[in-house]
Amino acid sequence: MNEEQRRRVVGLDHARSRTVREKLESQLGVRYTTLLELEYYGAVRFCVIDGMHNLFLGTAKSVFKLWIKRKILLPRQLSELDAKISEMNVMTDVGRIPSKISSNYGSYTEDEWKNWTMLYSIFC
């Protein structure tokens, strides 16, 4: 796998322009880094996944959208969620999510998705 990543990035650092390089990066699914020049570096093995963005902004948001798309959460139920969220009294340092989850969920930040997943969703 590591050799495949190295082959993909050959020439990316010498692309004619930034636009060309970004297009190639998007097509290949990899970006050039000087770390790939180190023999012992494994691009896939040493990759660190950012839990905040992956779990909360990625997974939580995707699942919520899927529930709406598949009509698991109906508009009536979303309104009930709005009501339950507005009833909640949480500590000020936790932070609130916008009260209208029915219409604002698409613009939630990763921190708001974290609050929804770990606190609000349990109650609602």
Asked whether the predicted pLDDT for residue 13 surpasses 70, the reply is: yes
Asked whether the predicted pLDDT for residue 5 surpasses 80, the reply is: no
Q: Is 105 exposed, middle or buried (0-12, 13-18, 19+ CB in 10 A)?
A: buried
Q: What is the pLDDT of residues 75-95, one digit of tens each?
A: 899 888 888 888 888 887 877
Instruction: Tell me how far apart the terminal alpha carbons of the chain are, to the nearest angstrom.
Output: 44
Confirm whether pTM is higher than 0.85. Answer: no
Lowest pLDDT segment from 44-48, 58-62, 96-100, 105-109: 96-100
SS3 content of the chain, % helix, strand, coil (to 5): 65, 0, 35
